Amino acid sequence: MKKITLLGLYLVFSQAIFSQNITITTDNTSVNEGAAFTLTATLDAVSTEDITLPVSVTGSASSISDYTVSFATQGNESILSSEVYGSKLEILPDGQYLMWTSSELKILNPATSTLTTYNLPRGYERIKPFGDAFYANTSDVLYKLEFDENNVITETVIEQLSNGYGFNYHFYVKGNSLIYQVVRYDNGVRWVYVKEGDNTPEQIFTGAVCCYSPVTVSYTHLTLPTIYSL
C-alpha cells in the first residue's frame, strides 16, 4: 500500500506592505492510498500582493497516477463598491480601502460598506497611510495629510524639490520610516532617501541606474541592484 506524507510548507510574499500572520492547519499529515486530507491556510489580514503557498509532497506514490491535489475554493469574490478609481487604491492597516481622484479621497469600510468622502486640496500622484495621517506627493512636492473630526484635510509640506527634479516611482512607508526616490531629469541620476519620523531625510543610495523602485524587506531598504541596511 502506498503512503503519502506532507513534507513541508513555506510561504513566499512578493511584496508585503504590512506584516501578517498565516496559520496552517491540516487534519492529517500522512494518509494511506484511497484516503484524503485537507490543508488550510488562513491570513489574519488583507494582503495587497499575491501570496504563493507551495506544498511539497513525498512518498512512494506518484502524482496524477496515484493521487491528485484539488482546491474546493480559492476564496470568495464579491463587489464591495462600484466606485471607479483606476489604480489609485490602497489597503489601510485596519483593512479599510483608500481610493482617490484629483479632487476626492474616499475611505471604504468593507465590513459596514460605509464610504467616507474627503475633499482634496489638490491632485496627488500617490497617497500612503502613515499612522493616523497620510503621505502624498505631486511630481515635485511631498506632503503630510492630516484629518480633523470635520473631515477637513490639513496639508503640510515635507519636501519641496528644486526645478528639474522629481519624485521617481512609488514611495513606501514602513513603521516610522518613509522611503522615497528622487530623479534629476536632465541626466537621470537618482537618489534614495529614508526619513525616520520627523528627522531630516538620510540619503542611502545614488546612481544613474534605471529603473527601480525602493522597497523594504525585513527593515532592510532595497533599491535593486544594491542593498543598504540601516
Cβ burial 172-206 (10 Å sphere, 16+ → b, else e): bbbeebbbbbbbbeeeeebbbbbbeeeeebeebbe
Domain boundary among 129, 160, 191: 160
The contacts of residue 149 (CB under 8 Å, 6+ apart) are none
Co-location of 123 and 189 in the same domain: no
Q: Which amino acid is at 126?
A: R
40 alpha-carbon distance from chain centroid: 23
The contacts of residue 127 (CB under 8 Å, 6+ apart) are 88, 90, 98, 100, 105, 134, 135, 136, 145
pLDDT value of residue 162: 94
Instruction: Quick: pLDDT tens for 160-208.
Output: 999 999 998 778 887 788 889 999 999 999 998 988 888 888 998 888 8
Q: What are the C-alpha distances in Å from 145 to residues 15, 126, 150, 158, 214? A: 25, 12, 14, 10, 22
Domain boundary among 160, 176, 191: 160
pLDDT value of residue 224: 43
Q: What span, in angstroms and rounded, lies between the C-alpha atoms of 100 and 107?
A: 9
CA-based Rg of the chain, rounded to a whole angstrom? Answer: 23
Whether residue 190 contacts residue 206, with contact meaning beta carbons closer than 8 Å, is answered with yes
Co-location of 171 and 103 in the same domain: no
pLDDT value of residue 212: 67
Cell numbers for 217, please give them: 524587506
Whether residue 121 contacts residue 105, with contact meaning beta carbons closer than 8 Å, is answered with no
User: Structural domain of residue 21, as residue ranges?
Assistant: 3-59
Residue 168 φ/ψ, nearest 5 degrees: -115, 125
pLDDT value of residue 147: 86
- The answer to whether residue 78 sits within a structural domain is no
pLDDT value of residue 52: 67
pLDDT value of residue 13: 36
Q: What span, in angstroms and rounded, lies between the C-alpha atoms of 16 and 131?
A: 17
Co-location of 168 and 137 in the same domain: no
pLDDT value of residue 217: 56
pLDDT value of residue 28: 76
Q: What span, in angstroms and rounded, lies between the C-alpha atoms of 89 and 108?
A: 11
Cell numbers for 196, please give them: 525616520
- The answer to whether residue 92 sits within a structural domain is yes
In the chain, how many domains are there?
A: 3
pTM of the model: 0.58
pLDDT value of residue 156: 92
Domain boundary among 160, 185, 218: 160
- The answer to whether residue 110 sits within a structural domain is yes
Co-location of 52 and 117 in the same domain: no
Edge-first strand order for the sheet with 89-91 is: 89-91, 97-100, 104-109, 114-119
Beta bridge partners of 40: 25
- Which segments of the chain have a pLDDT < 70? 1-20, 46-61, 70-87, 212-230
Nearest to 89 by CA among 79, 103, 99: 99
Q: What are the start-end ranges of the H helices in 77-153?
A: none
* Bond into 210 cis (ω within 30): no
pLDDT value of residue 213: 66
